Chains A and B, each alone.
Chain A
Amino acid sequence: MKKNHMLVHVMLILGAVVMVVPFVWMILTSGKTLHESMMIPPTLWPKRFRWDNYSAVWAMLPFAKFYLNTLLLIVGRVFFSVATSAMAAYAAARLRFPGRNLFFSLVLIQMMIPSQIFITPQYMLAQKLGILDSTMGLILPGFVSAFGTFLLRQFFLKIPAELEESAVLDGASIWTIFFRIMLPLVRSGLIALGIFTALFAFKDLMWPLIATTSIEKTTLSAGLANLQGQYSTNYPQLMAGSLLAVWPMIVLFMIFQKKFIQGIATTGGKL
């Protein structure tokens, strides 16, 4: 038994090294001079940790704007997709009305289709509305969420019918039941969807690339792509820029680790 555990640890540590070394190397490189970073054989530690790489990329790119735009994008997408999905999911799970199945199959079909098929017309729509290069434009494809509707429906389906029935007998309206009774009961689902939405809004690259043209209006991920285009060989600076782009989500993940993992775990339902 002990021996088995040893083997498990060895394998897990090996995997952990592969997962972590790139990040460690990013941090170490970000503190080196350009000359130091190109030593053969490479040095592990920077002689003296150079913060000037950070100030250099901070001056090259409007990182403060990137943070703000990314934050607004995340808040907007989370708010709209959770609100619209919760209502639609409740309707699909607990209310009976003509066309309900048709509606739900619409949701399922959308989930199966690659998002690239929507992008060009979404871009044209944003152009027509005059919201390219704005927070609204960044949020646009995420106003509603088929996946969110699907996910939250599962949560609403699990709630026993008696709860609703007794509230109906008390004369509560459907709105009251939804808002006061049902929503609190699916809290973990709402959090899961919120985390999932935030994570993918943060990681989205193609849409911010297309929907923004001025660098002050773009997000961290798309903005960082600019850094590489212009200064493609100064790796200490590129690593400093990368660190500036990854730390917020990593810190959030560390703080809300349990919720994050539960959130991710619940997104993997059964088809």
Chain B
Amino acid sequence: MEKIRRTKYKKDQVFWGYLFMLPTVAGLIILNIKPAIDTIIMSFSRSTGFGNMTFAGWANYQKLFADKEVWQSLLNTILYSVVSVPLIVVFSMLAAVLMNQKIKGLTLYRTLYILPVVAAPTAVAMIWKWLFNSQFGLINQLLAKVGIGPVNWLADPNTAIYTVIIVGVWSAIGYNMILLIAGLQEIPADYYESAELDGAGPVRQFFTITLPLVSPTLFFVVVTTIINAFQVFDSIFMMIKSSTDAMYKTQSLAYLFYKYSFILNDKGYGSAIVVVLLVVILIITAIQLKLQKKWVHY
């Protein structure tokens, strides 16, 4: 059948095809492809003032590999992702499974869980900063009642990144929960009915039916959550005081990129940092696409 596939194109389809594609292709070239290439070129350049750049070879990368701040940021980024992603995935899945039951008040629960998703991240960060305030914040005051603290959530270099992680997890659950509920609803109800007849309990049902059947959606959630975690910026920028030890132990590669490119105005070095971020994300995404055959059931 494949052999007799028409190879001739129809004139009007070719004409309209190109015309319809044109704005998007032009946009992608001007706004994405050329900028990506320019960023890579800039990463091999040195700024000479007034926006001029000269070729600098591997200088930025040599500096970068010897730069403790970059290594620390890479570590921070990895730590942020390794801790936040499993928490986001597990809590989103838990919320989705709970909301996939036939119980009263579902709409209200769903609404409340999505509130953080529709809130502006700057406002979210300020609200949490207030909650985490070491002297007057609600959290430390509650902890004091049970004899803990005071914890210096935002300024302690060893704690600040976990504070940012809490906010990141809180912000991301609602969105992924919605995606997973949609995935769960595609599972035919009779699978569960027959499992029940076989005497399988809810836990076994979850691992033998729910998890495998929702795995394509779960895979999407995992991949996008990891990519987002590696690009964490907003909460760090808003919550942690810049140029402190806490910032040094919290800042992500995306933050460091912003700092060098737009605060210190060293666009060459900033570009080298973001190229490293790109490479890290591509490697991780490639690994996941390989691993998916082991656990994703289409």
Contacts and interface: CB of A to CB of B under 8 A. Distances in A.
B36 A117 contact: yes
B101 interface: yes
B238 interface: yes
Among A29, A42, A124, A205, residue most surrounded by chain B Cβ atoms (within 10 Å)? A205
A87 B122 contact: no
A249 to B, nearest CB: 5
Contacts of A221: 120-123
B158 interface: no
Interface in B1-51: 9-10, 12-14, 16-21, 23-28, 30-36, 38-39, 42, 51
A122 B31 contact: yes
A114 B238 contact: no
Interface stretch (B59-67, B80-88, B205-213, B216-224): B216-224
Interface string B259-298: 0011000010011001101100110010001000000001
Nearest to A265: B182
B220 A15 contact: no
Contacts of B95: 12, 15
A264 to B, nearest CB: 5
A249 B131 CA distance: 22
A107 to B, nearest CB: 7
- Helix, strand, loop or mixed for chain A's interface? helix
A239 B130 contact: yes
A100 interface: yes
A222 interface: yes
Contacts of B138: 25, 42
19 contacts: A8-B103, A26-B123, A26-B127, A38-B136, A87-B21, A91-B17, A103-B25, A118-B31, A124-B38, A144-B23, A202-B120, A206-B234, A221-B120, A224-B122, A242-B126, A249-B119, A252-B118, A264-B117, A270-B216
Interface of B: 9-10, 12-14, 16-21, 23-28, 30-36, 38-39, 42, 51, 91, 94-95, 98-99, 101, 103, 105, 107, 109-124, 126-131, 133, 135-136, 138, 141, 170, 173-175, 178-179, 181-183, 202, 216-217, 219-221, 223-224, 227, 230-231, 233-234, 237-238, 254, 257-258, 261-262, 267, 270-271, 274-275, 277-278, 281-282, 285, 289, 298
Interface of A: 4-5, 8-9, 11-12, 15-16, 18-20, 22-23, 25-26, 29, 37-42, 83-85, 87-88, 90-92, 95-98, 100, 103, 106-107, 110, 112-125, 140-141, 143-146, 149, 173-175, 178, 199, 202-203, 205-206, 209-210, 220-222, 224-225, 227-228, 235, 238-239, 241-243, 245-246, 249-250, 252-254, 257, 260-261, 264-271
Given A88-B23, A206-B258, A250-B119, 4 more contacts: A11-B98, A20-B112, A38-B135, A203-B121
